[in-house]
Structure 1
């Protein structure tokens, strides 16, 4: 099964207990639906095989849900960015249009004046002027003004063309993001259906099987993250900075908080949301998604990891935790579970980032 789908250490609720309370899984994604492609199969006759099958299926569902959640977070961030850009462009276009309208008025005024004077040849007009010098001065000024207006008009028109082009690009991108949003909504609906099927699978276990599953998961979690029998030994290696120490203290203070899709605290979190909130307490604004957080600082090796560093997991970088020391991370694991300690080796490490 997905190795990060494990129960937490003492101090938080175990995965298996959350799974026994199957409504928690439904709450994590917002709804439960009817039978789907993942309907409960014929149960294996061996009880140990049956519980292992349930565990494997639920782990897979949670892994898919978390990947969809991080994609949704990224799409929402991109959508907000493009909406801000489109608004800015529209303001620029409006300002440019006002300038253009003003120029049109000036040009119309100049054209009317030239039309009124256009009935006479300029040489005749000069001879008839009582003040020829003043006439020449006005003529030169009109020519210069017309030249400046022409240059300005050309500049504004070119600017408007560029702004219109950028606005069209932004509108197209927003339409693309809307398509992505609909696709992600459909994906999450599919996940909800599968979680409903998983609930039915869990409901097919006996009370003794559920209790044994919880006990096995508790013991496995303790072995993974704790050097001793009671709690993890985080070692005495210092944090990489004062801000990292503050961020780590904030993350640890949220142990036991529920995992909820798209949440950045302060009471519920997804994996990247916990990192985002914790570092905000240290005065640092991280990117929103685990993939973007992978580029939020300097890469170091796992052997160099210090408390407060971000640990990015899996090849597609869809999960993130914070190094707490002693080979342990603190993270928000998956729906139905709570913020907890976990061994850094419980998941494949993609990279370590020092903010």
Structure 2
């Protein structure tokens, strides 16, 4: 995308823009329009008032368009960030492989040099014996291939057993060193490919973020005010939905408590006739939360300690995080190791429904699974939202939900 503005119809017709504009954003726009209409209701329909109303409508429309496109760019940057994280892991793994192979190649070269020194002792001994000329062992050391030297010029049975073993050892170590060097060279070439892929993904993320910043910079002061108003209305709507979810949860808990109390009373009546089995029957049912509740509490406690830290794509802490870096670090603090990227995190543990959500569960967003948050209860989560934002609490309804996963 260039720095120029796209036609408004093109922006709103794109799938990514529609996802940003429809839903909570549409509610916000409708609410803002209602407020503006009310403000103008008592004014005379003079040309000045009409012009002012038209400017306000245009500013609101432009703010909504920019918001939709910026959200789409942030989502694309989120996808690219996950690819960057994936490439970074692959690069680190390949770097370790290459380092090991280079060490092995160096060790193989050392063994070749050691074998060469052994052959050198035989060459020196022949020279001291006064045989004159270039000794056979010295010629062997200067030959490019020890076996071809003996195949074409000599017979191995002319050497002593010790010398034969030295020749065989030298030849074997030469071949081993050559194989190790070839393998290390191949690993380094693959490492260069991984590094190039990593650099490409980094460039993609930076490009998307730069486009988003450029769009925001194009807003006039009036359009910026309209955008802030839209975001305020969205927050209020998200808070309303979270409050509604909390009330519904409390209602379910009350109903469950009433059913449990009734069942307990019935059980107590039966137990009066069976004193011998009373201890077993009074044992409370296993807590479905159990150890998971303890682990989730630790994960949430860690996430709360990160509140206010900046979002930085590709970051895994401790001073900044991206979305999946935060959830991985939170569950690691609870003693559970989960994968690095959202596309892998979504496939672990158990997928649950919204009604089954428990604090500590992971909430994934968008069809491309480019964002994740840590559920804390009452329809809220802690997450690292996007560039320019911070780790914070927010309603899970601010983005299209993909799925819910219990990681442990």
TM-score range, shorter chain: 0.5 to 0.7
Instruction: Tell me whether 70-79 or 319-328 shows the greater mean CA deviation.
Output: 319-328
- The aligned runs of 1:210-225 (5 Å cut-off) are 210-225=227-242
1:317 aligned residue: 369
Structure having the higher Rg = 2
1:179 pairs with one of 183, 196, 200? 196
1:349 aligned residue: 402
2:296 pairs with one of 226, 244, 253? 244
2:324 aligned residue: 272
Secondary structure of the structure 2 residue equivalent to 1:322: strand
In the alignment, structure 1 segments of 5+ residues that lack a partner are 8-42, 120-139
Could you tell me the TM-score, scaled by structure 1's length?
A: 0.68
CA RMSD of aligned residues (A): 4.0
In the alignment, structure 2 segments of 5+ residues that lack a partner are 1-16, 25-54, 132-156, 254-287
- The aligned runs of 1:85-234 (5 Å cut-off) are 85-110=97-122, 143-146=160-163, 148-149=165-166, 152-153=169-170, 155-206=172-223, 208-227=225-244
Secondary structure of the structure 2 residue equivalent to 1:330: strand
Secondary structure of the structure 2 residue equivalent to 1:268: coil
Q: Is the 8 A contact 2:66 2:215 kept in 1?
A: yes
Instruction: Tell me whether 248-257 or 235-244 shows the greater mean CA deviation.
Output: 235-244
Q: Is the 8 A contact 1:75 1:181 kept in 2?
A: yes
Write out per-residue CA displacement over residues 221-263 of structure 1, whole angstroms, 9 at most, x where no aligned residue: 2134333689x98x98737253332112211343443322222
2:387 aligned residue: 335
1:302 pairs with one of 353, 359, 368? 353
Distance 1:203 1:268, change over 3 A: farther
Could you tell me the TM-score, scaled by structure 2's length?
A: 0.60
- Report the Cα offset of residue 154 of structure 1: 5.3
2:92 pairs with one of 71, 75, 80? 80
Distance 1:162 1:275, change over 3 A: farther
Q: Is the 8 A contact 1:332 1:340 kept in 2?
A: no
Alignment: residue pair count: 298
Secondary structure of the structure 2 residue equivalent to 1:261: coil
Write out per-residue CA displacement over residues 118-172 of structure 1, whole angstroms, 9 at most, x where no aligned residue: x8xxxxxxxxxxxxxxxxxxxx9x7554554455445534543442233122211
2:145 aligned residue: none
Q: Is the 8 A contact 2:20 2:68 kept in 1?
A: no
Secondary structure of the structure 2 residue equivalent to 1:227: helix
1:67 aligned residue: 79
Secondary structure of the structure 2 residue equivalent to 1:262: coil
Secondary structure of the structure 1 residue equivalent to 2:314: coil
Distance 1:73 1:207, change over 3 A: closer
Cα distance in 2 for partners of 1:72, 1:92 equals 30
Instruction: Tell me whether 89-98 or 67-76 shows the greater mean CA deviation.
Output: 67-76
2:306 pairs with one of 254, 259, 274? 254
Cα distance in 1 for partners of 2:369, 2:174 equals 46
Distance 1:143 1:315, change over 3 A: farther
Instruction: Tell me whether 203-212 or 266-275 shows the greater mean CA deviation.
Output: 203-212
Distance 1:206 1:116, change over 3 A: closer
